Chain A
Amino acid sequence: MLRRLQDVNVLDLVLWVFRAVIIVIVVWGTIATLIENPYPAQTWTETIVAGIAQGSLYALIAIGYTLVYGVLFMINFAHGEFFMSGIMTATIFLAQPMSETGFLDNYPVLSLLLITIVTMTVSVAIALLTERVAYRPLRKAPRLVPLITAIGASFFWQYFFRGLYGSEVKPFPQLASLAGKVSLGGIVILKTHIVVIVAAILMLIGLYGFVMRTKTGKSIRAVAENKDVAALMGIDVDRAVSITFAVGASMAGIAGVLYAIVFRQVHFFMGFIPGIKAFTAAVLGGIGSIPGAALGGLFLGMFESVGPGLFLEGLGIPAPHQLKDVIAFTMLVLVLIFRPQGILGERLAEEKA
């Protein structure tokens, strides 16, 4: 009996207490909120839809983290800047002038298409340049080196674009056709949220098809597993890595356009927080896994949106929505305590990390 007690590690004990406390708080808060019932049903549905839309954005950005990690085992912290660079450029050179001349509202579909093309092109170009100049020479270096380089690249692009476009927040024009809400089967939803959710679903399905079905997609998966053997098959590993960065950056570019449509503003620092959140989403879902990134993004977006009202309101915490980041990262800690490999991750990830 005594020996068995000694086997229990103090750290384990602390962790168990920690888990128990968090679960009790969450359950207690939820019950208290539901009894109090402070919001009408419409608010809940709106919060849920907003959470799905936010989660869709995270999912699209998280794809870039997860793809690059899958292939190079590297966390590309500059990914948030790939997201920022495209939409910043398109806003200044395309969206704002088009809005002033009235082109945007006369031809909304064509305008959005042009904006998307320019955004993706710039995002992909920045990603390819970063990979070629900053990451490729370090491919054989110890893990920590490319990681630090990625943080450096992130700062470089932030201040590069700040120097280029200025540090103020730039408005992204509102599209008249996307203003307001529609009612879908009794649920009232913002039109922009519908655009975000539908676009994200289409992009994720397309991406999954590309990676699973096409020859190029298969070659990327082969490179992710074993670079030497992939080369023996005739796969140009450098080219496969470039394609991986390009695919991730084009997803981030799309996310940039959707972000601008919803929040109607862009600035040089806009990639930082969504980047960190998307990275969190990728880890939550199981980094290296594409469905994991999508699920992790959705999960994080939902908790951020619904969590504060549901868990904290009932505990009598004032202005709970300001604590959404606390909820988001507590979720990360919780998931990682119970499932270190993430929701859909494989145990293999531990060996690789």
Chain B
Amino acid sequence: MAILEVNNIHAYYGNIQALRGISVTVEEGEIVTLIGANGAGKTTTLRAISRLVNPREGSIQFDGEDLSQFKAHELVYKGVAMVPEGRGIFAKLTVGENLDMGAFSRDDSANIQEDLERVFDLFPRLKERRSQVAGTLSGGEQQMLATGRALMANPRLLLMDEPSMGLAPVLVESVFETIQRINKEGTTILLVEQNAMMAFQVANRGYVLQTGEIVLSDSVENLRQNEMVQKAYLGVE
């Protein structure tokens, strides 16, 4: 059974329609990517799943439960965590406090400690900078922190909004390696990216969004062969 089923959602910002009938399915254990240009509705789709945006039409089911009955802050208790757009770290809190906030929804302190070790194992940098104020981290480190913080919730589904944004190419590589590793350790991932080339290297399936609609959905292998995708997103002439 699909862990996440987004069914024909329409969402608006004021009177402007941002999503025009988006349907996305994610199976347990997959990495699924949403690609598309700026303003295509990728971020809005993630915000709708995490209940920061309330769709006017359509339904979103997680693990068979209708998400519209929950508020945004209840979602993490269901097992959905997000690495938000622009990372959204708490700049005035320390690295350690940011990670504490990631585990806000939990009170099993022994397991939290275990997950903290896991995050530090994944990102040794964060351990070094544990008591440093997060706003002083570099862009790459902030991305590590945002990812680590989401993992502290021990989520079943991880929503990632453009983790490669604004990072140097060598860092982008390592971000995607991390994504693969997190997935292998058992977390399902829905990945929003503009960098289609990198996203296709890690994902199983992909959806192409244009102006609030899904224009293509297929396995990554097939998307790579698609002429429109090659031209628009992979830079192949």
User: Within 8 Å of chain A (Cβ to Cβ): is B81?
Assistant: yes
User: Within 8 Å of chain A (Cβ to Cβ): is B62?
Assistant: no
User: Within 8 Å of chain A (Cβ to Cβ): is B50?
Assistant: yes
A228 touches B93 (CB 8 A): no
Interface residues of A in 221-274 (CB under 8 A from B): 221-222, 225-226, 228-237
Encode contact with A along B89-106: 1 for CB under 8 Å, 0 otherwise: 011110001001110110
User: Within 8 Å of chain A (Cβ to Cβ): is B37?
Assistant: no
B104 touches A228 (CB 8 A): no
Q: Per a CB cutoff under 8 Å, which of B73, B92, B102, B149 touches A231?
A: B73
Instruction: Give complex CA distance A225, B133 in Å.
Output: 13
Interface residues on A, range: 10 to 19
The minimal Cβ–Cβ distance linking B76 to chain A, given in whole angstroms, is 4
Q: What residue in chain B is nearest A226 (Cβ atoms)?
A: B88
The minimal Cβ–Cβ distance linking B90 to chain A, given in whole angstroms, is 5
The minimal Cβ–Cβ distance linking B95 to chain A, given in whole angstroms, is 13
The minimal Cβ–Cβ distance linking A137 to chain B, given in whole angstroms, is 17
Encode contact with A along B47-81: 1 for CB under 8 Å, 0 otherwise: 00010100000000000000000011111110001
User: Within 8 Å of chain A (Cβ to Cβ): is B206?
Assistant: no
The minimal Cβ–Cβ distance linking A287 to chain B, given in whole angstroms, is 15
Q: What residue in chain A is nearest B84 (Cβ atoms)?
A: A229
Q: What residue in chain B is nearest A213 (Cβ atoms)?
A: B97
Instruction: Give complex CA distance A225, B101 in Å.
Output: 12
- Measured between beta carbons, the chain B residues less than 8 angstroms from A233 are 73, 76, 101-102, 104-105, 149, 153
Q: Per a CB cutoff under 8 Å, which of A221, A225, A234 touches B73?
A: A234
Instruction: Give complex CA distance A219, B153 in Å.
Output: 15
B100 touches A228 (CB 8 A): no
- Measured between beta carbons, the chain A residues less than 8 angstroms from B102 are 233
A229 touches B73 (CB 8 A): no
B101 touches A218 (CB 8 A): yes
Interface residues of A in 46-82 (CB under 8 A from B): none
B92 touches A234 (CB 8 A): no
The minimal Cβ–Cβ distance linking B134 to chain A, given in whole angstroms, is 10
Instruction: Give complex CA distance A233, B76 in Å.
Output: 7
Instruction: Give complex CA distance A230, B72 in Å.
Output: 10
With contacts A218-B97, A222-B101 taken as known, whether A234 is within 8 angstroms of B90 at the C-beta atoms is: no
User: Within 8 Å of chain A (Cβ to Cβ): is B82?
Assistant: yes
With contacts A219-B104, A221-B93 taken as known, whether A235 is within 8 angstroms of B84 at the C-beta atoms is: no
User: Within 8 Å of chain B (Cβ to Cβ): is A215?
Assistant: yes
Residues of A within 8 A of B (CB): 215, 218-219, 221-222, 225-226, 228-237
Residues of B within 8 A of A (CB): 50, 52, 71-77, 81-82, 84, 88, 90-93, 97, 100-102, 104-105, 149, 153
Can you name 8 A-B residue pairings with CB atoms under 8 Å? A226-B88, A230-B101, A233-B102, A233-B105, A233-B149, A233-B153, A234-B74, A236-B73
For the complex with contacts A218-B93, A228-B88, 20 further pairs of A-B residues with Cβ separation under 8 Å are A218-B101, A225-B91, A226-B88, A226-B90, A229-B88, A230-B73, A230-B101, A231-B52, A231-B73, A232-B50, A232-B72, A232-B75, A232-B84, A232-B88, A234-B73, A234-B74, A235-B73, A235-B104, A236-B71, A236-B73
